[in-house]
Amino acid sequence: DPLHDRVVRILLADGVVTREEVEHAWMRWLRRLRDGEEYPLWRELLNTPDVDIEAIFEIVAMTYAFRRVHISVPGTMALAAHLGPRITDAQWNTLIENLVVPVLEPGQRLEAIRRVPCATFDPTNPDVRRLVASLNLPGIELCYAPAADIIQVITEAFPEKKYLLGPL
């Protein structure tokens, strides 16, 4: 039953998806499960035409208690300079390609942070979690930010790396 997925129940209740979209996604999801793929039903809804993908990611992040961050471009630039010796250029490239960025929020001071907020639009993605863990930085907090906000900070704070985003 698709309603066993609490994210799907919330998406339906909030009007982000329709019952028909859920039923079609459920059928596709069952076929993929039989083929050996395992992932939550809500991820299959991302393959549904005309759904609000950003709304789905936001609801997922809130459902799983990931904090929503607002991003300060100057603060993020200062944090990147501070982390520079600890994160290789190849690691930065991989982070940016995956829309994952260590950030500072407006009003947050570099010297006052205890945990480094790491913004992503998909904090439940196991690949993102592994990528962030591979940095071996103490005190990283995986947080949610809309993809558009992350793309904006990348283009403003790392203009030399925006080519990694591909065509926008």
pLDDT in tens, 52-67: 999 999 999 999 999 9
Q: Where a domain ends, among 63, 88, 116?
A: 63
Q: Is residue 106 predicted with pLDDT exceeding 80? A: yes
Q: Is residue 107 predicted with pLDDT exceeding 70? A: yes
Residues 113 and 153 in one domain: yes
Residues 44 and 78 in one domain: no
Q: Is 100 helix (H, G, I), strand (E, B) or coil?
A: strand
Q: Is residue 166 predicted with pLDDT exceeding 70? A: yes
Residues 59 and 100 in one domain: no
Question: Which residues span the domain enclosing 94?
Answer: 73-165
Q: How far is CA 113 from the centre of its chain?
A: 21
Helix axes 147-157, 73-83, angle to 10 degrees: 70
Model confidence, pTM: 0.89
Residues 90 and 147 in one domain: yes
Q: How far is CA 109 from the centre of its chain?
A: 23
CA distance 50 to 46: 9
Q: Is residue 22 predicted with pLDDT exceeding 90? A: yes
Q: What are the distances in angstroms from CA 160 to CA 59, 89, 167?
A: 32, 12, 15
Q: Where a domain ends, among 17, 36, 63?
A: 63
What confidence score (pLDDT) does residue 46 get?
96
Domains identified in the chain, total number: 2
**Is 161 inside any structural domain?**
yes
